[in-house]
Amino acid sequence: MCVQSFKRSGKFNAKWYYLWIVNTMFMKKWKTNLLLIGLLSLVMSSCLTTEKKEYVFKFTGQNAGTLTIKYINLMSTSDDTTDMSKQDFTELIDKYINGDNIKSQYPTATNIRKQLYEVNGQLYAELSMDFSDLESAKLYQSDANSPLMLCLTTEKETERYIESNGKYGGANMPVVFWNKDLKELHLTTGITKPDESTKSLVGRYREFKKTASH
């Protein structure tokens, strides 16, 4: 019953009006909490991830060149039995392929190119970009005679070292070091190992391609 109904009846009761306001505020708060709980459960129970990443830095000039990153076996992970692959594939398309998520990770890189494709029943994403200085590619060199370096642990994510054409500092020094004279730097890292909690996104990609072709 609304306030207008109370007034129209000619029997306005302050006690009932107060209870009505409290009830209305409680219901609004309850609905808001339910929405927040639903959003949090979605975020916590689902995650877009990849099995491995391959980096190739090709130098074309002084501290400048092209960086290519391959995301091998893109997957959806879930901590329960709910299939969240549709939502994760939508996130992949909206935020990474069509969105500016990559640009936010490499803000000073230029000419960013993105593509999705299938290899041996797995979904790959490939990114390539140009960089005009080492910082734009997240590389570091303390001086001209020092090795080139890349840290595998940041505030946002941790990558597991697999192999490279450089030297790895180990768990206590998660940095890859390369000879300063190399023209190409190669690195492979691990992110998420496939298990019963992961699901390949290749099926969603096939559906996406089929829909896009019509």
Helix, coil or strand: residue 181: coil
pLDDT in tens, 11-29: 444 544 444 544 555 454 4
Predicted local distance difference test score (pLDDT) of residue 78: 85
Query: Could you tell me the pLDDT band of residue 160, with boundaries at 50, 70 and 90?
Result: very high
Percent of the chain with pLDDT over 90: 71
Phi (first) and psi of residue 203, to 5 degrees: -65, -45
Question: Positive or negative, the Cα torsion across 168, 169, 174, 180?
Answer: negative
Query: For 33-37, 47-51, 164-168, which range has the lowest pLDDT when averaged over its residues?
Result: 33-37
User: In angstroms, how far is CA 50 from the centroid of its own chain?
Assistant: 10
pTM score above 0.75? yes
pLDDT at position 119 over 50: yes
- What's the average model confidence in pLDDT over 1-15? 40
pLDDT at position 10 over 90: no
pLDDT in tens, 129-144: 999 999 999 999 999 9
Helix, coil or strand: residue 22: helix
Most confident of 36-40, 78-82, 117-121: 117-121
Predicted local distance difference test score (pLDDT) of residue 212: 85
Query: Could you tell me the pLDDT band of residue 179, with boundaries at 50, 70 and 90?
Result: very high
Query: For the CA atoms of the chain, what is the radius of gyration?
Result: 26
| CA 172/CA 178 separation, integer angstroms | 18
